Amino acid sequence: MSKKLDTLMRVIFTLSAVISILAVTLICVFLAANAFPALREIGVLKFLFGRSWKPSDIPPAYGVFPMILGSLYVTAGAVIIGVPIGVLTAVFLAKCCPKRLYKLIKPGVDLLAGIPSVVYGFFGMAILLPLFGGSIISASILLGIMILPTVIGLSEAALRAVPESYYEGALALGAGHYRATFAAVLPAAKSGIFAAVILGIGRAIGETMAVIMVAGNQARIPNSIFQGVRTLTSNIVLEMGYAEGLHRQALIATGLVLFVFILIINLSFQALKNRSKK
């Protein structure tokens, strides 16, 4: 009976892995099949580094460079704001927080993860837009808040997974509580914290609705963090509803660029993780 159960579970796990790989493969094939005709007609370099996106002009212009920069600026701002706060909050929850206070803070952090993007967008429109207008800084602050649950949750789990002997050994060598936490426990958890940061970046770069509501949606290269931008995801959502022909293919090619960005981020994380193990 035990062998049959083991065989059944092995088959189930194998099928699950195959389905996951197949799903990713189908997405890649769909994006490539629909994007390559547009890239061939527009030109890869002209598409990636063109500074003008004007599908309605004659002839039309399809350059996604402003959207690439917009996505990078907004994501970088979100990481600068959200990651330090998230990691420090995780350290507090894992090593410093009293149990009674933990029971209040932890559900609040979990609640942030369940709030819909459009609600975050309404918050940004009510609080951030009057202060900063539709701009990079507004989108960065909002996305920095949105990635907090991911960064805090995974970082806390990574910190709690570190053996207690690391902390106790640091104390035995004369370190205080905070020095032992930051000099011994935190470096030991860096792999899990890296994973939290990467997932946070993926959340930020892939966010659409909240960004549309606060970023300004201007397809231009900004000169200041207080100017509006349009991200890759926003560009797809704003125009896909009425796009057709080459315009639609160019939007799918934009999705391919976004897919490649996510792939590069994950490969970079894997390289850093492998390097840290050496």
What pLDDT score does 251 carry? 92
The pLDDT mean for the chain works out to 88
Check residue 18 and give its pLDDT. 92
Q: What pLDDT band is residue 133 in, cutting at 50, 70 and 90?
A: confident
Confidence of residue 252 (pLDDT cuts 50, 70, 90): very high
DSSP state of 134: S
Identify the CA nearest to 198 among candidates 156, 140, 150: 150
CB atoms within 10 A of CB 260: 11
pLDDT band at 66 (very low <50, low <70, confident <90, very high): very high
Which has the higher per-residue pLDDT, 36 or 6? 36
Assess whether pLDDT exceeds 80 at residue 268. no
Note the pLDDT of residue 69.
92
pLDDT value for 270 = 75
Residue 277's pLDDT is 61
Tokens for 40, please give them: 């061939």
Q: What is the mean pLDDT of residues 43-52?
A: 90
Q: Would you state the pLDDT for residue 77?
A: 93
Query: Which is more confidently placed, 1 or 66?
Result: 66
Model pLDDT, residue 1: 60
Looking at residue 129, its pLDDT comes to 92
Give percent of the chain with pLDDT exceeding 90.
37
The predicted pLDDT at position 55 comes to: 87
Q: Average of pLDDT values for 126-153?
A: 92
Residue 276 pLDDT grade (very low, low, confident, very high; cuts 50, 70, 90): low
pLDDT computed for residue 204 by the predictor: 87
Lowest mean pLDDT among 30-39, 71-80, 119-128: 30-39
Residues 6+ apart with CB under 8 A from 205: 71, 75, 231, 232, 233, 258, 261, 262, 265
Is pLDDT at 60 greater than 70 in this prediction?
A: yes
CA separation for the pair 152, 227 (Å, rounded): 30
Bond from prior residue into 222 cis (ω within 30 degrees of 0): no
Task: Answer whether 86's CB lies under 8 Å from 147's CB.
Answer: yes
Residue 220's pLDDT band (boundaries 50, 70, 90)? Answer: confident
Percent of the chain exceeding pLDDT 70 equals 97
Please state which of the ranges 4-8, 69-73, 116-120, 270-274 shows the lowest mean pLDDT: 270-274
Calpha distance 14→156 (Å, rounded): 31
